[in-house]
Structure 1
Amino acid sequence: MNWEIIGKATQFIAEEMGVSLKRSALSPNIRERMDHSCAVLDKNGRIVAQAEHIPVHLGSFKVGAKNIIDYMNQNGIILGENEMLVTNDPYISGTHLNDVTFIAPVYYRNELFCYVINKAHNVDVGGPVFGSLNPEAINLYQEGTIIPPVKASSDVIKFILSNFKDPDTAAGDLNAQMAANRMGIKRIKELLDRYSGDDINASWNTLIDHSRELSLHAMAEWPQGTYESEDFLEKNDGLIKLKLKLSVTKNGIIADFSGTDNQINYPLNAVLGVTFSSASFSIRSAINQDIPTNDGFYSIIDLKVPEKSLLNPEKPHPVSGGNVETTQRVADTVLLALSKFLKEIPAASSGTMMNIMLGGENNGKYWSYYETIGGGNGGRYNSNGESGVHSNMTNTLNTPIEIAEKEYPMFFTAYKLRRGSGGNGLHKGGEGIIRSFYVTNQTYMSVIADRFMVKPWGIHGGSPGKTGSLYIISSGRKKRMPAKFSSKLNKNDEVIIETPGGGGYGKI
């Protein structure tokens, strides 16, 4: 059928955009770790196709793309042929300041036909700490440069780069993002040369309707009802509660986060785009069918989040950690609710991206390094959890040690599984990771992590996984650090990172 052919072709366009971005980028974070995402939107901003990149990015397009298009309409911004818009405002684009978004129109016969969009994590976007993810931020302005939705002219790009600490690397990444959109535009126009615009639009509408119908059909097997769960995030001086009532209805899922703690002056608030991403990812993961993930699937999820809460904060509350840590806990909370009626839901994963930011001056230039470190997946109903992997809202690779040592003043001393960190059970939780290094120059380090106090939960009688930890060895003294901190490292100081294991599944 033509609509299936056109749908697959559109999917491949999004995938090719991602390949272009990866191959053109300069930073290891994008080039090696693939911390980027791409999608194709119809002219109304609905997601038609997305590449299977970073979950927290992809779901945010549902919220962020509409916000951007609404912003353009409200402010009289008209993008012409060969023009793009750039923004990183999390309260519009839907994640955090490090994620710079480019959106570009595709014109057909002098009329707007659709959009292509991509988002990539730029390692440093300004602000007081290297890597910009500031564990001590009390407002958004302490997390980096805010780029409102604006046309990406050469002067605008120059202004943006003048506020980033490593402008040369950032220029390569921003140019790669713009090139990826140009690739998408080219491929959409080639599709328009083969099929009429009317046929493509009709096919996209059918594809979206098909996805919705398949999703509702799959969930018709789930028992209708309301299922409750709660989980916790960690401040260094206490816990933050997430509470969920998840209702399964004949028309889809209602995820009600009433009862979640209020917004805080701390970088763990999550904008609505992040909350939606996490909830939709968890629900999509529970559907064991080949369903296109587009606006049709997203339309079955009704998110209810109180304003001025942790998961729907008011600007300018800080949100950098919300995109990388709170997003993991939202996923855990939704998965825990789903486990009340789906045996296939695994125990909790490591539950943290273990964000490590390093930077300083080397050979007269500033440098910034960003890494997230995997852990253990939860035990599953039919097998042990996987060890040493990124899970849930992150889908990145690690930076190869050889690349990190070549690019930055650091030397690795260990990279191995953390034996015994997975929870016991009929099916054991996966093992976490031990990754350690020392720095060869004075370096500034910031960390935003979690699951240092609250263990990843086991399920159906399984034991929880071990919590994470981080140590700094300086002048022969070993000091245990909290989950969120900034610190100066002296030359030859060593950092030892131990990520959590996954929870166990079932009684032994």
Structure 2
Amino acid sequence: MASQSSQLDPVKLGLFVSRMESVCEEMGAVLQRAAFSPNIKDRLDFSCAIFDAKGELCAQAAHIPVHLGSMAYAMADIVDACEWRPGDMVVVNDPFLGGTHLPDVTVIAPCFDDAGVLQAFIANRAHHADIGASAPGSMPLSKTLEEEGVVIPPTVLVRSGVLDKGLLNAWFGDGQHGDFIAQVSANRTGLLRLSEVISALPIDFAVAVNQLQNYAEGIARRRLAELPSGSFAFTDFMDDDGFGHQQLPIAVTINLSAEGVLVDFSGSAPQVAGNINCPLSVAAAAVYYVFRCLMPDEVPVCAGLFRPISLSAPEACLLNARRPAAVAAGNVETSMRITDAVLGALAQAAPELIPAASQGTMNNIAMGGRGAG
């Protein structure tokens, strides 16, 4: 093993980045093939990523931006809240603990080396067709989080390699385990492949990851320095929350300077009765997505890429809702409108880089029924 001061040369750093990303891609392939739900198997509504021992994003596959951005924003808090042991996996879907909405369930596994030292975390998030809400598809016209299904705090789902089927039965009943088992299988594949990457490194994994983060941060800062300094504001609107509240503003001011970027959502609407609210992690995902689109294609997507970006939103507003606000549609609809608002502000700073506004919606159509067949 080389000394702690060693660094990967540019070629080896590039190989390291590619191998980390390939781990995430293989996890996604396993998850898709093993899953039962069309949401995962056909719609590909899932994401896979690697985090370091502190919960900072190291690598991801090209999956769902709102999944990965929200995990990147809040994973460190989940890491600190749990006691991690080899062979365990933790499941969570709470939107106010780094989630998005209840159907998006995250399964996290710690990766230990042969000496028993925690090196990293493997995680995947997948959209489940039924999370226990009153309406088929678990996307009801809701007023509180509890109406949207089963809320899962960080809970041990796999203990010493053994899946807790009793826990799943208690939440969802027998026969609804297939997609959870697919997520566990994807993580097991990720753990195996990541262990191979760590073993093959000529330097400590933590040192390599730190070099990766600094490299991505450097690219981000150089790219952002090309934008003009100043303050740029834009306001867009959510049409309706489903309960009579209309024309709800999403106001954003972006301050660009040599120190970095501050994205401030002051002036946005307060949280509402309907389920178009979103936790701050979803707003962060939308912001990260926009700035990722401004970066060179080859930049590794990791925590370092987002270090120059700070985010602020008033508590209990539409984009930083407080429990028990309903959030089922905030993840799918409000996130799109946040993206348009951030792009609208940046268009004033760099109009040649920003595309025309989209229609600000994900065009979701939910269909479902009750009973067999």
TM-score (norm 2): 0.91
- The aligned counterpart of 2:130 is 124
Aligned equivalents of 1:213, 1:270: Cα separation in 2: 31
1:97 has 2:106 as partner? no
Checking the alignment, whether the CA contact within 8 Å between 2:132 and 2:149 is kept in structure 1 is yes
Question: Please, which runs of 5 or more residues in structure 1 have no aligned partner?
Answer: 73-77, 366-508
Does 2:346 align with 1:338?
yes
Q: Which residue of 1 aligns with 2:310?
A: 302
Counterpart of 1:279 in 2: which secondary structure?
helix
For residue 214 of structure 1, give the secondary structure of its aligned residue in structure 2.
helix
Q: Which amino acid is 2:126 matched to?
A: A
Which structure 2 residues correspond to residues 48-197 of structure 1 after superposition, within 5 A? 48-72=58-82, 78-108=83-113, 109-135=115-141, 137-153=142-158, 156-164=164-172, 168=175, 170-195=176-201
Three-state SS of the structure 2 residue aligned to 1:339 is helix
Q: For residue 70 of structure 1, report the CA deviation from its aligned partner.
A: 2.3
Among 261, 281, 295, which residue is 2:289 paired with? 281
Cα distance in 2, alignment partners of residues 179 and 99 from structure 1? 17
Alignment-derived partner of residue 250 in structure 1? 258
Task: Tell me the percent identity.
Answer: 35
State whether residues 220 and 250 of structure 1, in contact with CA within 8 Å, keep that contact through their aligned partners in structure 2. yes
1:94·1:272 contact (CA, 8 Å) conserved in 2? Answer: no
Shift of the alpha carbon at 1:20?
1.1
Any conservation in 2 of the 1:209–1:296 contact (CA below 8 Å)?
yes
The one-character-per-residue Cα deviations of 1:60-97 (angstroms, maximum 9, x if unpaired) are 1112311211221xxxxx23211100011111132110
1:152 aligns to what SS in structure 2? strand
Amino acid of the structure 2 residue aligned with 1:306:
P
For residues 181 and 350 of structure 1, the distance between their equivalents in structure 2, rounded to whole angstroms, comes to: 36
Match of 1:355 among 348, 364, 367: 364
Whether the 8 Å CA contact 2:17–2:300 is kept in 1: the answer is: no
Larger Rg: 1
What are the Cα deviations for residues 446-471 of structure 1, in whole angstroms up to 9, with x where unaligned? xxxxxxxxxxxxxxxxxxxxxxxxxx
User: How many angstroms apart in 2 are the aligned matches of 1:265 and 1:105?
Assistant: 38
Whole-Å Cα distance in 1 between the matches of residues 106 and 26 of structure 2? 17
- Give the structure 1 partner of residue 4 of structure 2: none
Counterpart Cα distance in 2 of 1:230 and 1:110: 51
Q: Counterpart in 1 of 2:54?
A: 44
Mapped to 2, the partners of 1:185 and 1:289 lie a distance apart of: 27
**1:200 aligned onto 2:210:** no
Supply the distance in 1 between the matched residues of 2:60 and 2:98 (Cα, whole angstroms): 16
Task: Please state how far the C-alpha of 1:289 moved relative to its aligned partner.
Answer: 4.6
More strand by share: 1
Helix, strand or coil for the counterpart of 1:292?
coil
Deviation at 1:195, TM superposition (A): 2.2
Q: Distance in 1 between matches of 2:171 and 2:54?
A: 33
Partners of 2:370 and 2:251 lie apart in 1 by 43
Structure 1 residues 111 and 288, CA gap change in structure 2 (3 angstroms) = closer
In structure 2, the partner of 1:407 is none
**Structure 2 CA distance, aligned partners of 1:232 and 1:211?**
33
Matched-pair contact (CA < 8 Å) for 1:103–1:117: yes
In structure 2, the CA distance between the partners of 1:356 and 1:254, relative to structure 1 (3 Å rule), is same
* Bigger relative contact order (CA 8 A; separation at least 6): 2
Distance in structure 2 (CA, Å) of the matches to 1:361 and 1:338: 46
| Residue 263 of structure 1, CA deviation | 1.1
SS in 1 for 2:77: helix
In the alignment, is the contact (CA less than 8 A) between 1:261 and 1:310 conserved in 2? yes
Structure 1 position 358, deviation (Å) = 2.0
User: RMSD of aligned C-alpha atoms?
Assistant: 1.7
Other structure's SS at 1:340 match: helix
